[in-house]
Chains A and B, each alone.
Chain A
Amino acid sequence: MSGARISALATLRGQIERIETAEVVHQRDRVALGHGEVDSALKGGLARAVIHEVFCEGRQGTAATGFVSGLAGRVTARKPLLWVRQDFSEIETGALSMSGLAELGLDPRRVVMVRAADVESALRTSADALACDALGAVVLELWGETRQFDLVASRKLTLAAQGSGVTGLLLRMAAQPLPSTAETRWMLRAAHSPPGVAWSAWGAPRFDVELLRNRHGPCGRWIMEWKCDECQFSEPSTYPQPVAAAPAHRPDPAVLQRRRTG
């Protein structure tokens, strides 16, 4: 091998090393989701300061919304959350309800909602917001296929997120995954409640989660459950209702059950 080639190789290796270390430094900032297998696939948790995409079919929009809310709840860490959405998605799948968000254990006080009229203004607003480091996360909710959200737009968002350390979460309902600069890409479906007596209560929200793309680890498909009390994901529980024995000073569980359903 000639000397020039060796030195060229060495330079390239050096460059790769630098890139990798830079990424390692960057990627240290991860938030564990709470689900063991998912966290190990993600090398410790969901990365901050990047873009994550969540796709779903049209009908599964609410499951995806729940999953994105959960991710946002994990990464924001008591910082404000900016939720940007198109007018159209509100008609299709309903408006994000703050009472519902509070029921998931998230804090509606820290949510600022932006109602963008069209995709262009939604994209521009989110790129602006991702550059503002006072925020914890920015959720961009888009309905349907859009030409405007291409690789360039995706790159813009990623650069803005890297610069400020704000996490970008894209909720793409009724859309097909396309190449982008996202760190991870998920496909969401609603999962059944655990088997139990028919016509009986359901449990915590459960998601059938497929990790389609993961830049730094394997992909996979899991059932994840959102624990509203602990504000984190977990492995699916076997029973729909919590089975821990009720403390002695509380009323009988049967009474509670009746009160809730009655």
Chain B
Amino acid sequence: MGTGLREGNASKQKDDPSIVVIKDNNALVIHALDEAAERLGLHIGQPLANARAMCPDLRVFDADTVADAKTLSDIADWCDRFTPLVALDPPHGLFLDITGCAHLFGGEAALLQTLVRALGRQGFAVSAAIAGTSVCARTLTRQTTGTIVADGGEAAAISRFPVSALGAGEAITTGLRRAGLKTIGDVASREPHEITARFGARFSTLLAHALGQGDAPINPRKPLPDYIVEKRFAEPIATDTMIAMTLSRLADTLIASMEKQGKGARRLEAAFFRTDGAVRAIMVETGRPVTQGKVIDRLFRERLDALADPLDPGFGFDMVRLSASRTEIVVQEQRDLDAHVHDNDELSALIDRIAARIGGKRVVVHLPQDTHIPECAVLAAPAQHHLAAAMQAEWPARTESEPPLRPLRLFDRPEPVAVPFATVPDGPPHQFTWRRVQHAVVRVEGPERIAMEWWRQDGRQLTRDYFRIEDAEGLRFWIFRDGLYEGECFDDDGKPVPPGWYVHGLFA
């Protein structure tokens, strides 16, 4: 069962016709209009100049399609309270799949009435209908509001509507009218193959769906969560303690229902529905499936504490929903005698808490990569997802009885240094200036030549000669010359230029 829904801003001033214009092919045309303007005979798509000629005292506004889309998406958020399956039907429509949800609101008629009234209170003009297929419901909303069509009654319900209600596009609508098919009933009375031959398979499919023969699936905005628990309040709640208490109770309920199927939550979303229609959703992720209510409770507390723009209850929340959008089967692990597994559990719980507060991308573990290029040799990956992999990663073994060959601190972008001259053309520098300080070179090791990966490089990259250098103070640098001397570096005229020098890292 689908609910088609159309919204538009209810006009406050009934007498003054208002229109919204948008630029189309370098001409301003009407994008939307109110009832007063419609009564004057204006229509969507009409050029503004024509409209002004018909009615000089028009109130004209510029269209803001981005804001329109945002409003529609906000309304869709609000509609989440009726069903988790809400699909956008731009520019003005929404589909709600209310299969199995209507009884929670006292039946289809009551649901429709609640929805239309609540949206009307928020200042929207709503046209809604319930039908067996989404296309049929949408067709109904274009002509009437508040219709509920029982299964099998679709064809009868829409047969007397004009063909424009199908929303098949200007060309087809005009074509149908020219063929003398004024209403949907007229079109339906023709043989399907005639319609297909004249107007295409797409239109005949649309017609079939509108008549209740088969249905196009709607495209919900969010995937259906695996588990949903929610709490509605007759009296909106606004205090932090009440919110925390509600969340913790919801977490217990959620855990109880997941436990029956041996599942644990990996991603949780709490949605707070404000009385004025605003919806705030907050998400937390965990590294391993959560099976305890108090863990969920704590994660959300951390998240709510650290929000940059805190949860604003306004006049209160009338509904709080907790959903587990990703769940996994919980594998019960045998505890080691040395409590090793327990330690890992605690570590991942700590990582989850930190990630909930400061963001999952800010807690990382490191995975070795199979490359010689120093800046690519290590990959930082979010710890929540890669902790186990990082714990078992194989790092290249270090050479025994050698001093460190790689620096302890590595610059993300190598920093250029000024080198007045090198000992021999492709030798190490005698002195260099880095960050406006001159360093005299005392000890040098190298060069260690690292060639770039020709099998994957896009542009031409230069071979690097790395030197390990100690200066007079005992500071140790990892310096490289970018390019072979007189071999790789040329200016625009093709003449060789001296290659540049860079500090890439610092040794302990």
Contact = CB atoms under 8 A, between A and B. Distances in A.
Given A62-B506, A66-B508, A117-B358, A199 B444 contact: yes
Nearest to A206: B474
Interface stretch (A31-39, A88-96, A176-184, A214-222): A88-96
Interface residues of A, number: 67
B444 A191 contact: no
Interface size class of B (residues with CB under 8 A): 35 or more
A201 B470 CA distance: 9
A198 B231 CA distance: 76
Interface stretch (A3-11, A14-22, A125-133, A151-159): A125-133
B52 interface: no
A124 B354 CA distance: 9
B350 A135 contact: yes
Given A125-B358, A135-B350, A95 B409 contact: yes
B239 interface: no
A200 B346 CA distance: 48
A97 B378 contact: yes
Give the dominant DSSP class at B's interface: mixed
B404 A103 contact: yes
B56 interface: no
A113 B361 CA distance: 10
B101 interface: no
B395 A102 contact: yes
A166 B223 CA distance: 42
A97 B404 contact: no
A229 B408 contact: no
Contact of A128 (B354, B398, B442, B508): B354
Contacts of A13: none
Contacts of A101: 408
B396 A134 contact: no
B475 to A, nearest CB: 5
A94 B409 contact: yes
A228 interface: yes
Nearest to B364: A113
A186 interface: no
A38 B410 CA distance: 30
A233 interface: no
B399 to A, nearest CB: 8
B412 interface: yes
Nearest to B398: A103
B443 A112 contact: no
A93 B506 contact: yes
B25 interface: no
Contacts of A102: 395-396, 398, 406
Nearest to A87: B362
Interface of A: 59-63, 65-67, 69, 79-80, 82, 90, 93-105, 108-117, 121, 124-125, 128-129, 132-135, 189-193, 198-208, 226, 228-229, 242, 260-261
Interface of B: 306, 342-347, 350-351, 353-354, 357-358, 362-366, 368, 374, 377-378, 380, 383, 387, 390-393, 395-396, 398, 400-412, 437, 442-446, 468, 470, 473-476, 505-508
18 contacts: A65-B409, A66-B408, A66-B507, A93-B409, A97-B407, A99-B374, A100-B507, A103-B404, A112-B351, A112-B365, A113-B363, A114-B358, A115-B363, A121-B358, A125-B357, A134-B350, A135-B347, A229-B400
